[in-house]
Structures are given as C-alpha cells and as structure tokens.
A and B are shown apart, each in its own frame.
Chain A
C-alpha cells in the first residue's frame, strides 16, 4: 500500500495558520526568565548570547545560577532587613532607641566566634591534672540549709581525688563530662549537686600549672558556667510563670512572686558562703542575670562589687581572665553599664606591673615558659575586655585608653590588644603613631611581628590618611622583611599584601611578591605556608580585576610556581579562573593573558586523573570553557582556529572542553559565513573546510555517544550551511553508522536510564535535517534515508516497546514532505532534492517504494500487537498512524481513505481509546472539511463512527 502524499502549498498553509501578528514584548514577565537579574549580569548575558548562540550545553560555566544567587543579596537576609523597619514602625521610635541601648547589636563580635580560635591556639602536649571530689551519692540530703552548707564545706575540704597525667584531650573530655553531669544533676532536681559541680569546675581556674593551656581551660570552664547561669535563670523564671502568663522580657522585680524571689535569694546566700574567692566570684558572675528578679538596681550594684573583688586574685593571668568573664557576662546582661568595663581595664593596668614581679617570674621558670609566649596568653582576655570597652565608645574614650597604655612604658602586649579591639578606622587614622610605638617596644617581650600583623589587619579594613600611605608601607615592610622565621614572616606578609593591593599599583605589589618569594624559597619554606600563600593570591586577585595588569606583574607567575603541591596548585588555579570569568568583561586576545591563563588551565587540566571526582571534572571543565569563550581574536579567524587547535591538544582529557571547542569552531565557521554573506571566496571556503575537518576529527574522541551523535548532526548542518556538501555527507554517514552503537541504557547524572527517548528525539531531529540534504550523485536516491532506515530496522529495540513504529510513522512525515514540489525549508545556496529532481516521477516512485515498505512494517506490527493482546498499545499506535495519514495523506485516494477508516475502528475496537481525544479528532476533521478543497473530509467524518463507552 502506498502513501499518497497530500500536495501541500506551504506558503498558503503558513498564511492560513499564522496567528494574528502580535508584537512580542519581552518586557515585564516571562515564566522562564530568571527571577533575580542584576544589571551587570544582564550585560554579560547579552554578550554571551551574541557570541555563542549555538552552544547550549556548555553555557553554564560563566554564570552559575547558584553562585550568582549567593554573591548577590541573599533573599532571606534581604527579607529580614526589610522586615525590620516594619516592626520598627509598629513600636514607637523611642522604644527602639531604648532597646538599642539595652542590647548589644549585631556589629559586636560575639564570644562564640572567639572561643574556637582560643581553643585552637592555646594547646599543650603536657600532662594536666584535675583535682575533684568523688561525688558520693546519697548522704541523706536533709532539707535543712545547715546540712547543705556543711556539704558545701565538705566539698571544699573533704575527700578529694586527683586525676593526674591527663592529656589535653582527656582533660577536655573530663570537663565535658562535668558539663554533662551538671545538666543531669539539674534535670534530676539535685540542685545542690549541680552547684557543687560548678564550684568544682570554677576551682580549676585557680590552678595555673601548664599555663600555656590556661586560656583554653578558661574557655571550657566558662562554658559550663554559662550553662549553669542559664539553668538557674530559667528555673527561677519558670517559677514566676504561675498562670501560664509568661513574663514580658523587661519585667520588673515587683511582678515576681515571693517564692521565686526567695529561691533566688537562696542562691545568692549560698554562693556568698562559698569559701574560696575564685569559685565564689565565678559562680556569682554566672548568675548575675538573676539579680533582675530581686531589684532593679541589683546588676548595677553587683558589677562594681564583683569588679573590685577581682583585685583579690593574686595571679595576674587568672585575674585578667576573671575580668574578661565579668565583662562578657556584663555585656550580655547589661551592656549599658560601661563604667565597670572601664574600671576592669584600669584595675588591670594597675596590676600590670605584677607580670614582671618575682612570683610570676618564678612560676615561669618552674614551668619553662618564655616571656613572649607567656604574654600572648593574655591576649584573648585583654582583647575581649578592650573590645567590650571599644564597642560604640566615643573617640575620646579610646584616645584616653591609648594614652593610659602608653604611660605603661608603651607595652607591646597592650598595644596589640588595643589594635585588635579598637575600631579599625581609629587605628588606621593613627597608623604612623602606632608604627612609632611598635618600634619603641621592648624587643624581649611580646613578639613584634604580631604587632605588625595586628596593625596590618586594621589597615586592611580601614584606610589611613592618603599622605601617610606609602610611608606606612615602607616602615612596616622594613621590619617585616627582617623577620627570620618564615612562619612569622608569612603571617605578617599575608596581612600586609592586602594593604598593598588596596592602595598601590602593580609596581609595589610586584616588589612585595618578590620579597615573599625571596623569603619563602630557601629550604622550601613555602611548603609549610600554603594557606597563607593562597590567601595572598586571593587578595591580589580581589584587587586586580584587570588581568592584563595582573599578569604584567612580573613576579605573579613565579609566585604561582611556589605552589608545588598539586592539590593546592589546582585550588589556586581555580581561584584565578573564577576571578577571570567573573571580572573579565570583554573577550580578549592579549597574548600575555592568553599565555598565562593557558598555563593555568593546563595545570588544572593536568591534575585530572582516574581518581578525580565527576564533580571536580565538571567544575574544572566549566572554568576552562569559560576561558575559551572569553578568547576572541576578532576578525582574525585563522588565529582563532589555531587557538582552538592548540586548546584541543592541551585539554584533551576533559570532554566538556572538547565539546565546547567543537561548538566554538562551528560557530567560527558560521561567523565566517556571516562575514562573507554566504558567498565564500576560495580562501574562506578552504578555511571553513578546515573548521569542518577540525570537528570531524575531534568528535570521535568523545566517549558520550549522544554527544557524538548530536555533534555530528550539528556539525553536518554547519557544513551544509557552508556548502561543504561532501563533508556534510560524511558527518551524516558517521551519525548513521553510529546509531547501532547506542546502548540500551545510558548513565545520566549517575543513574542508569533507558536511552530510547533520547534516541527517538535525536532521530526525529535527524530526519528533519535529512529533508534538505541533497542526494549524492554517485549514491542512489535517498541514500541517507535508506541507510538510516536500515539501521533502525537492525537496531535491537526494547521488547514491548513501540518506539520503532513511532519512528517509522515519523519517517512517513519526512517522506511526504519529500514528495512536495517545493520543500518547506532550504539551506541558502544549497539545492535540495526538490530542485535536483524537479519532481521527477522516478524519484517519486522511489519515495513511494520506501513508503510502502514502511507502512507494511507498521501494519504488521499492529497485527502482532493484536495477537499479543497488547490492545492498549495497539489502539494508541493506530490512532497515531491515523493522525499521520490525516495530516499528510491525500484522503481522496480510496485506498488510503479506507485504511484510515480501518485504523479509526481499530483504535476504538477494544475500548482503549480515549473518548475525549476521539471526539476532538472528529471535530477537527469536520472543521477541516469546511476549508476549500477539503470537502472530502466531510464524507470521511461520516464514515468514522464514535464508539460510546460500554
């Protein structure tokens, strides 16, 4: 049976089908448009659109949608920020001011961020010991206060167990155990035991053996105290909530009931009777907040008292930590009480001379701790105190503090803390003074490089006066460059690089980098300093967005050579490439940049091996692709091509890069065509052929079969567009011969999926292209179509699947399009079969022959389905075929008409047809019948019965 294709006049059909012309407005809303687009990005997008219209698979590299969301404003925080004024509008302005005053703002660096740093910094390998009492359960806890007090005494003088020779980790674990048992005791209502544990813990703070661990110990134990303070406060608060009416946050003591007050008072009396000074201080400070239950002025009376209580602590380190804790609690509970903070600092200054006293010195000798190390132990506490003081403090106070520190013999320890705690702007404005002070400092005490580091950190945040800038750098670097120890040196240099980049040109940066190289190369010192070196690179990149300048910094590449460990090296390369893709606005052909970046990309590429993770590969490929897309030699197409050739040889291990290269080369060919307005000269024709050849030999090296198929097709189209007919044939032939190799299952995002849908999609696409491919004069008619059909025939299709038949049906679409006098579309300057054969009857007969074969195949299949009782599938396929005939067949032909009626009936025969679809189809036929020359549709409609649902 032959398909008698309907004669189509595509032009009139277009006319009739075309919707009323409505000018599209890509203005306000489009469902597929990204939701957040910032200005700079739209700019980039448009550029990309113009250069790489053909590539869709690799466009993800330049703009990662996820990261672009992140580096923009985070919608949540944005929301929070906008939500704030709303609440503020509710409450009165006055109240808000007051709250500002009472609470610490978010600009105050919280303790929690410091604690990790301290724990990591102050460590020891020496053995530690804990003196603790074996907690004996029972002992008949009587209600009497008296026994309780006796127990407290008992705890202090009673049987004690000493845990000796603990490693640091054991010690930390032990303290964690204590923390846990505190919570347990509390939850099992053993308040006295809980108090005992807290006293135990705070007693550990009076022990200064293994002094280098003391700051960490302080952190660990004050954690427990915080827990305790919170437990007590919440317990008393819960007693106030009688009738499920919770207290407002700013409750007054009058609203507290007597029982709660009495309980609270009890705690204070109990604590007041603790024998030893240090535990008494810490435990009272821990529950400082509870004073709110007793009186309004309680906290403001307690703070000064506790402050002066610390004077009784003899050891200066223990005392300063106690002060830090008090300030910390004070800031949390009553940040408006600034006087105690200042008082704490002044008291500390008064006792400062103790550090150099005999008691301390003797202790250091016993413990074999050097003075510089000892002094650094003070930093966390002093930093914290000064930070509390400096928080929103007036300039005058800061100046006064500084003067006071100066008076104390310009002490380096204090100077360092001042620099790390005070506002960066304040420090930056006085940088020259600070440098002078640092120089005057005593060499033997606090390490000087730490001072310069602190100063550098400030200068990275705030700018010193314009006139001083160069002098500051010179003075600082003079000292830094003299540092002998590479670690000290690099820690300082890392910080100062940022200052240099911020304020100076590439010349200074080059000098600095050269100096770093000089210091870090001997004895391969750089091996120990990769994090710092990496951070230096990052800082340089952050400040130098112009890569032509960056790479003209002579020492930049030699600096990169210091990263000799491969993983670090690749990390650095990635950073550079990310920055390049992010900041490079225009495509470039600068040989310096190209050379350097090719080198960088090569490094990344060469790190890929069998063990590299898929994600890592994807990331590297995306970066390299981003680079490739940014390279443009303008009208010098040949140079461009040779760059691609070079890139191919360099990045052959990363498939996505090869894919990108093929796309780029194809694009180059199309660009050439555009320039020549479709008429290639001899020279451009040769060039285009070279492009095509590039693609042809590159594609087979890809492993992904669909990438290969699509690229063959794509490149074939490009070749066709450039009038390279034989090359196009070669591509299509290659595609055809590749189809049998398509596996049943393919791996997509790590999951195995059936490949048929992809294949179906590809083949349909392929057929559409084949329509316009002219036949080869030496090969037979429809050589490619036949070839493809044979391949489809031989391909082992999934059983129980009708994809093959669907494809056959689609082939019918192609074949009927081929019989038309003029094809629906053409390639400019390429004569398709319609022109070649001019509707020759032999040609049409050939097509009909193919049609017959295909239709026979389809009908056979329908029969088999009927036998196999796969009736639903049969119904669907029948309808599909029916629709094809309806669209493409000439139904005036009786045979075809009868076939369609049969198909219609077959579709409905077993009740598997969707009634709605059938009704719609019938309606469509009736509608069509009203069109001119379609009157035979009316007859057809009469012959198509609708089966009512049974």
Chain B
C-alpha cells in the first residue's frame, strides 16, 4: 500500500477552546523511504450556510447557496522537500487557536442549514509519479464558558383540551389533564434537560410521551432570510398507558455536535426548542412547545 498519512490530535476528545494551542503529531508510515516535495498542515474553520428549498424555492436553493464564512485559516510548512526514512515518522506540530480581527471562534455545530466545522488537513506533495497524499481530521471547538451565573428559569405547564390551539373539533377530544414542569429553559449544553410530568387523568389510554428536540436555524442573506425548524432527536419518556398521578421524569441529554450554545450573529442564528409530545391511543397528538436557551458554563 505504500505510504500512509495520519494526524493524531493530542487530546482524546479533540476539544479545544479559543486561545489554546492545538497540538499533535503527523504520523507517516512507510515501508520504504519516502520522497516528497514538502509536507504542509492547514487549519481551517468555516460556517457553511445552506438555504432551504422550502423558504427560498428550489432554484435559488440550488444556486444561491450562501458563500461560506471563513473563521480561521492558516497553513504551516512542516517539512521541506526531501526524503523521509522508512518506518514510522512522527512530526509534532502546534497551532495556536487565534483569530484575526473581530472574528469569533464559534462553537462546532453540525446542523442542516448551518454547519460550523473545523478541520486540520495535512498535505504531502509528491513528484509527478506518485499521487499527493492528503489526510483531513476534524477537531472540535467549544466556545469559552459564559461568565456569571446562569439564572434558572423554571416553567410550569398544564395541558388540557382547553389549553390547546389548532384543534379542529374540540368536542371530540377526550378529556385529559397533564401537569408538569421543566427545571429550567436556560440550559447548560453539558447538562441534561430535566423536569417532571404527571398525567393526572386521561380518558383515552396514552400510547407514548416523547421529548422532541428541535433546532431552529435562520440564515440571512441579500434576498432576506430563511428560518427552518428541524428535529434533532426524539426521546421517548413514557411508553404505554402510564400510571395516573405518578410523576414521570423528563430527562434528555443534549447530543454533542448537534447542539451548541444558542448562537445569534448578523448572518445566521441557531436556536433550540423542545416539544413535549403526547400520543394518545386514538392517535391524537398533543404537542407543547418550549423555546430553550442553551449556553456553556
């Protein structure tokens, strides 16, 4: 197979903060000596925005995707053209994570219409006879913890047929009363969303109660802006006809990479919401929505 190129980042979880030094080694393994025209290492960070077909139409969505916003980009010449000995060669590197000007290192986020991603790419240029070798590797940026204390903002909620909007025939609804609370809608990304829910009574049997985590991504551009809500994950907290009057825990871990602290910039916004979805046995679907504010402490 010849020569293999690999990047090993020092931290096992690959998480770095602004101002820290990203360090690691580039590992080259080969049976023979390797002739090359230089090895370079590139660090890139960018926000990719995508307009959804729903908000701007198919045509524009295809052509009019917004240009990526570059956050960080720097290249490092690691080795001058020459030869590497056979066997395993490790070349250590260090990249200070610093931004130029007024740019901000946004936290890594994998979404649908907004993607914030950081990569390290190692290129080995070689003579015409051999193909250039490239290896890319993602690393993760966490934004700096917020200063100050997070104010908890508990919410109590009660769901009855009367509190529902968007009902076609209210008279056909079975009677029910569901009470509960969320400990806070201001959440720390690393801590689970917690709360409680009590089915006080319900005429119809309950099929399932779920927590739906939703991202709301807004992209602004010359033509206006697009705002889209999509599901990140759906966590069932009750299965079947649960016992009446018994508090059921509301508990959801925020998935890594797919959530980040709520972000608001001039060009785009990333926000999160949670829906409590109650599914009744006669296929009635009851949803209660709570906007969340995520941060990192």
Query: Can you list, as one digit per residue, whether each of B233-250 has a CB less than 8 Å from chain A (1) or not (0)?
Result: 111111111110011110
Point out the residue from A272, A280, A314 that lies within 8 Å of B240, measured CB to CB.
A314
Contacts of B241 in A (CB 8 A): 314-315, 357, 359
**Cβ A351 vs Cβ B246 within 8 A:** yes
Q: Does B41 contact A (CB under 8 A)?
A: no
Q: Which of A252-285 contact B (CB under 8 A)?
A: 257-259, 261-262, 265, 269, 272-273, 275-278, 280
For chain A, what secondary structure do more than half of its interface residues adopt (helix, strand, loop), or is it mixed? helix
Contacts of A311 in B (CB 8 A): 238, 242-243, 246-249
Cβ-closest chain A residue relative to B253: A272
Q: How far is the CB of A642 from chain B (nearest CB, A)?
A: 79
Known: A273-B233, A314-B242, A359-B241. A258 touches B13 (CB 8 A): yes
Q: How far is the CB of B185 from chain A (nearest CB, A)?
A: 20
Q: How far is the CB of A272 from chain B (nearest CB, A)?
A: 4
Known: A258-B11, A269-B256, A354-B243. A314 touches B236 (CB 8 A): no
Contacts of A265 in B (CB 8 A): 13
Q: Does A305 contact B (CB under 8 A)?
A: yes
Q: How far is the CB of B4 from chain A (nearest CB, A)?
A: 16
**Cβ B242 vs Cβ A273 within 8 A:** no
Q: How far is the CB of B7 from chain A (nearest CB, A)?
A: 13
Query: Can you list, as one digit per residue, whether each of A346-367 has a CB less than 8 Å from chain B (1) or not (0)?
Result: 0100110110011100000000
Q: How far is the CB of B252 from chain A (nearest CB, A)?
A: 8
Contacts of A275 in B (CB 8 A): 233-236
Q: Does B206 contact A (CB under 8 A)?
A: yes
Contacts of B234 in A (CB 8 A): 275
Q: How far is the CB of A303 from chain B (nearest CB, A)?
A: 13
Contacts of A276 in B (CB 8 A): 236, 239
- Considering the chains assembled together, what is the distance between the CA atoms of A272 and B11 in angstroms? 24
Contacts of A280 in B (CB 8 A): 235-236
Interface centre among B11, B239, B247, B258 (most CB of A within 10 A): B239
The contact size tier of chain A is 35 or more
Q: Which of A350-386 contact B (CB under 8 A)?
A: 350-351, 353-354, 357-359
**Cβ A277 vs Cβ B236 within 8 A:** yes
Contacts of B13 in A (CB 8 A): 258, 262, 265
Q: How far is the CB of B272 from chain A (nearest CB, A)?
A: 15
Contacts of A350 in B (CB 8 A): 243, 246
Q: Does A146 contact B (CB under 8 A)?
A: yes
Contacts of B253 in A (CB 8 A): 269, 272-273
Q: Does B95 contact A (CB under 8 A)?
A: no
Q: Which of A94-124 contact B (CB under 8 A)?
A: none
Contacts of A269 in B (CB 8 A): 253, 255-256
- Considering the chains assembled together, what is the distance between the CA atoms of A145 and B248 in angstroms? 30
Cβ-closest chain B residue relative to A149: B255
**Cβ B11 vs Cβ A359 within 8 A:** no
Known: A261-B12, A262-B13. A278 touches B239 (CB 8 A): yes
Known: A309-B251, A311-B249. A259 touches B12 (CB 8 A): yes
Q: Which of A22-36 contact B (CB under 8 A)?
A: none
Q: Does A308 contact B (CB under 8 A)?
A: yes
Q: Does B110 contact A (CB under 8 A)?
A: yes
Q: How far is the CB of B116 from chain A (nearest CB, A)?
A: 14
Query: Can you list, as one digit per residue, whether each of A489-530 has a CB less than 8 Å from chain B (1) or not (0)?
Result: 000000000000000000000000000000000000000000
Q: Does A415 contact B (CB under 8 A)?
A: no
Contacts of A2 in B (CB 8 A): none
Q: Does A318 contact B (CB under 8 A)?
A: yes
- Considering the chains assembled together, what is the distance between the CA atoms of A265 and B12 in angstroms? 11
Contacts of B247 in A (CB 8 A): 308, 311
Query: Can you list, as one digit per residue, whether each of A133-177 has a CB less than 8 Å from chain B (1) or not (0)?
Result: 000000000000110010000000000000000000000000000
Q: Which of A292-318 contact B (CB under 8 A)?
A: 305, 308-309, 311-316, 318
**Cβ B240 vs Cβ A305 within 8 A:** no
- Considering the chains assembled together, what is the distance between the CA atoms of A206 and B242 in angstroms? 14
**Cβ A145 vs Cβ B246 within 8 A:** no
Cβ-closest chain B residue relative to A360: B241
Point out the residue from A261, A305, A316 that lies within 8 Å of B251, measured CB to CB.
A305
Q: Which of A751-795 contact B (CB under 8 A)?
A: none
The contact size tier of chain B is 20 to 34
**Cβ B239 vs Cβ A206 within 8 A:** yes
- Considering the chains assembled together, what is the distance between the CA atoms of A316 and B233 in angstroms? 27
Cβ-closest chain A residue relative to B240: A314
Contacts of B249 in A (CB 8 A): 305, 308-309, 311-312
Point out the residue from A145, A309, A312, A353 that lies within 8 Å of B209, measured CB to CB.
A312
Q: Does B27 contact A (CB under 8 A)?
A: no
Cβ-closest chain A residue relative to B245: A350
Cβ-closest chain A residue relative to B243: A351
- Considering the chains assembled together, what is the distance between the CA atoms of A590 and B239 in angstroms? 72
Contacts of B209 in A (CB 8 A): 312
Q: Does B205 contact A (CB under 8 A)?
A: yes
Cβ-closest chain B residue relative to A354: B243
Q: Does B257 contact A (CB under 8 A)?
A: yes
Cβ-closest chain B residue relative to A259: B12
Query: Can you list, as one digit per residue, whether each of B3-26 has a CB less than 8 Å from chain A (1) or not (0)?
Result: 000000001110000000000000
Q: Which of A898-950 contact B (CB under 8 A)?
A: none
- Considering the chains assembled together, what is the distance between the CA atoms of A359 and B244 in angstroms? 12
- Considering the chains assembled together, what is the distance between the CA atoms of A692 and B101 in angstroms? 126
Contacts of B257 in A (CB 8 A): 145-146
**Cβ B243 vs Cβ A359 within 8 A:** no
Q: How far is the CB of A781 from chain B (nearest CB, A)?
A: 105
Q: How far is the CB of A405 from chain B (nearest CB, A)?
A: 18
- Considering the chains assembled together, what is the distance between the CA atoms of A316 and B244 in angstroms? 12
Known: A305-B249, A311-B249, A315-B240. A262 touches B256 (CB 8 A): no
Contacts of B255 in A (CB 8 A): 149, 269, 272-273
Q: How far is the CB of A239 from chain B (nearest CB, A)?
A: 10
**Cβ A258 vs Cβ B12 within 8 A:** yes
- Considering the chains assembled together, what is the distance between the CA atoms of A305 and B191 in angstroms? 14
Contacts of A351 in B (CB 8 A): 243, 246
Cβ-closest chain B residue relative to A315: B240
**Cβ B238 vs Cβ A314 within 8 A:** yes
Q: How far is the CB of A146 from chain B (nearest CB, A)?
A: 6
Query: Can you list, as one digit per residue, whether each of B109-140 has a CB less than 8 Å from chain A (1) or not (0)?
Result: 01000000000000000000000000000000
**Cβ A313 vs Cβ B12 within 8 A:** no
Q: How far is the CB of A359 from chain B (nearest CB, A)?
A: 4
Q: How far is the CB of B11 from chain A (nearest CB, A)?
A: 7
Contacts of A353 in B (CB 8 A): 243
**Cβ A318 vs Cβ B240 within 8 A:** yes
Contacts of A146 in B (CB 8 A): 110, 257-258
- Considering the chains assembled together, what is the distance between the CA atoms of A365 and B132 in angstroms? 71
Query: Can you list, as one digit per residue, whether each of A310-342 has a CB less than 8 Å from chain B (1) or not (0)?
Result: 011111101000000000000000000000000
Contacts of A358 in B (CB 8 A): 205
Q: How far is the CB of B8 from chain A (nearest CB, A)?
A: 11
Contacts of A273 in B (CB 8 A): 233, 235, 253, 255
Q: Which of A196-242 contact B (CB under 8 A)?
A: 206
Interface centre among B12, B243, B255 (most CB of A within 10 A): B243
Contacts of B240 in A (CB 8 A): 206, 313-315, 318, 359
- Considering the chains assembled together, what is the distance between the CA atoms of A314 and B236 in angstroms? 12
Q: How far is the CB of A757 from chain B (nearest CB, A)?
A: 74
Contacts of A149 in B (CB 8 A): 233, 255
**Cβ A314 vs Cβ B246 within 8 A:** no
Interface centre among B248, B252, B257 (most CB of A within 10 A): B248
Q: How far is the CB of A253 from chain B (nearest CB, A)?
A: 14
Cβ-closest chain A residue relative to B252: A272
A146-B258, A273-B233, A277-B236 given; 13 more Cβ-contact pairs under 8 Å: A149-B233, A258-B11, A259-B12, A272-B253, A277-B238, A309-B251, A311-B246, A311-B248, A312-B249, A314-B241, A316-B243, A350-B243, A358-B205
Closest 10 CB pairs of A and B: A314-B240, A258-B12, A312-B238, A272-B253, A277-B236, A351-B243, A314-B241, A359-B241, A262-B12, A277-B239
A-B contact pairs, 5 of them (CB 8 A): A146-B258, A258-B12, A269-B256, A305-B249, A347-B246
